Amino acid sequence: MQRFENAKEAALALRPDDPVYCFRPEVLKADCRQFMDMFPGKTAYAVKTNGENMVLKTLVEAGVTAFDAASPGEFAAVRAVSADAEMLYMHPVKAQSDIRLALEKYGIRVIALDHEDEITKLTRVVRALDIDPGTITVFVRIQTKGSAAYELSKKFGAGPAYAVELAERLNRNGYKVGLCFHVGSQIQDPDTYERALASADWVRNRVSFDIAGLDVGGGFPADYGSDPNSKKPEMPSIGQIMSRLRGDLKEYGFDEMPLVAEPGRVIVARAFSLIVRVLLRKGRRIYINDGIWASLSDSWTGKLALPARFIPDPAIRSRNGSEKNIVPFKVCGATCDSVDILSRPFWLPETIDTGDWIEIGHIGAYSLSLRTRFNGFYPDTFVEVTTPFEAGDAPEGLASMETMAAE
Ligand SMILES: *Cc1c(COP(=O)(O)O)cnc(C)c1O
């Protein structure tokens, strides 16, 4: 992989017409270690956030020994970087053949579920493979209510009373039983984890045995840069969220048992930025070489404001306006699909023109993992960058903001 100081240097050297992902392994390691230092338990990185080989490999180098993997593809991706990393199979709804693969081929012994039919599937596999259920920890996923950029609690989770039933049944069948929840992604309300802990506490107090551990899931917010026009309160920092969580864990008496977290976004968001090119400027509209079918679907559906830096093409000699004047541009994506228009503008210097580049920061989570080959476009160029996105000149703009429409 080619290495550059920063994205501007990469853009001016390569003059890329295709999108270029700028990978910052040192930032990834630092953010990962920061999380592991703050969380009082095991850190299992959620592979779906960004399962690139370079990411998983770097995380292993940073000291990650456990991964939350949800599918055969993710099991293989983890095994490709580590022969002995532990995998936690935390997807509540699974194909029986995938459960068998997890237990038989990958030696997975930690699994989550939220329904009795999943116990039936699991037990069929456990009996067929003649595994002692006492070697398996089953986490019962509890339904939670919260406020996150992505609410995932509507899709999965057992109500507290049903969770008690599932836990008792698992215990009778000889499994070790833990409790887990996942509050959604990019949580915005610091009370979110406490509400989930209160549900877990309710369940724990009603089961007839000691639970084997608690998994608090993911959802920890990445620090994306703030939208100066937003009236929303400032997002709590990861430090604030974590000290609150540690206090709450203690208060509910969960601090004496094995704890697990499954962070994704908070670990990998800052590790990548993306250089895109302006293929055409048409008034207050720009057509870029990426879009909702490639790297930009998450910032779009999650209403995230990503920081953006203008990289002017020095070959453009004459420009109109002032580089200091930051204005909204409607952004059209690379494909011929008319849906491929971002619902929110990018805020950029009014001087931007056909041929310039934009570096979009903090795009490591749910960007390249969600790209498609639609219309023949598939961004797949990577460079390594040594300087963190925040270093150097402050980014001038924002990619995607929810407060104003471009037109
Ligand atoms: C997606 C997911 C995660 C990671 O969520 P982040 O918000 O990226 O931290 C963790 N656990 C489960 C079960 C998930 O589905």
Select from 236, 262, 288 the last residue of a domain. Answer: 262
Q: 382-401, pLDDT tens digit by residue?
A: 999 999 999 988 888 888 76
Average pLDDT of the chain to the nearest whole number: 93
Nearest-angstrom CA–CA distance, 60 and 85: 8
Integer Cα distance of 22 and 360 in angstroms: 10
What local confidence, expressed as pLDDT, does residue 344 receive? 82
Q: How confident is the model at residue 404 (pLDDT cuts 50, 70, 90)?
A: very low
**Contact yes or no for 359/315 (Cβ under 8 A):** no
Residues in the chain: 407
Same domain, 69 and 9: no
Q: Quick one: 105 and 254 in the same domain?
A: yes
pLDDT at residue 298 in the model: 84
Do 253 and 146 fall into the same domain? yes
Give per-residue pLDDT as tens, 201-236: 999 999 999 999 999 999 999 988 666 666 666 778
Boundaries of domain holding 139: 40-262
Q: What is the pLDDT of residues 132-142, one digit of tens each?
A: 999 999 999 99
262 CA closest ligand 1 atom index: 10
pLDDT at 147 over 70: no
- In this prediction, residue 305 carries a pLDDT of 80
Backbone angles phi, psi at 378, to 5 degrees: -150, 95
Query: Model pTM?
Result: 0.94
Active site residue 336: yes
> Do 114 and 252 fall within a single domain?
yes
Q: What is the DSSP string of 261-305?
A: E---HHHHGGGEEEEEEEEEEETTEEEES--TTTTTHHHHHTT--
Ligand 1 pocket test target in 185, 187, 215, 363 with most atoms within 8 Å of CB: 185
Q: Does any ligand 1 atom lie closer than 6 A to the CB of residue 143?
A: no
Cα–Cα dist 194/181, whole Å: 12
CATH number at residue 355: 2.40.37.10
pLDDT band at 260 (very low <50, low <70, confident <90, very high): very high
Radius of gyration of the chain (CA): 23
Nearest CA to ligand 1 atom 10: 218
pLDDT value of residue 406: 38
Q: What is the pLDDT of residue 283?
A: 96
Q: How confident is the model at residue 334 (pLDDT cuts 50, 70, 90)?
A: very high
Q: From the alpha carbon of 92, which atom of ligand 1 is closest?
A: 13
295 and 250 fall within a common domain: no
302 pocket-lining for ligand 1 (C-beta < 6 Å): no
- The residue from 262, 295, 317 where one domain ends is 262
Residue 30 lies in a domain: no
Mean pLDDT for the stretch of residues 163-181? 98
- CA 91 vs. chain centroid, Å, equals 15
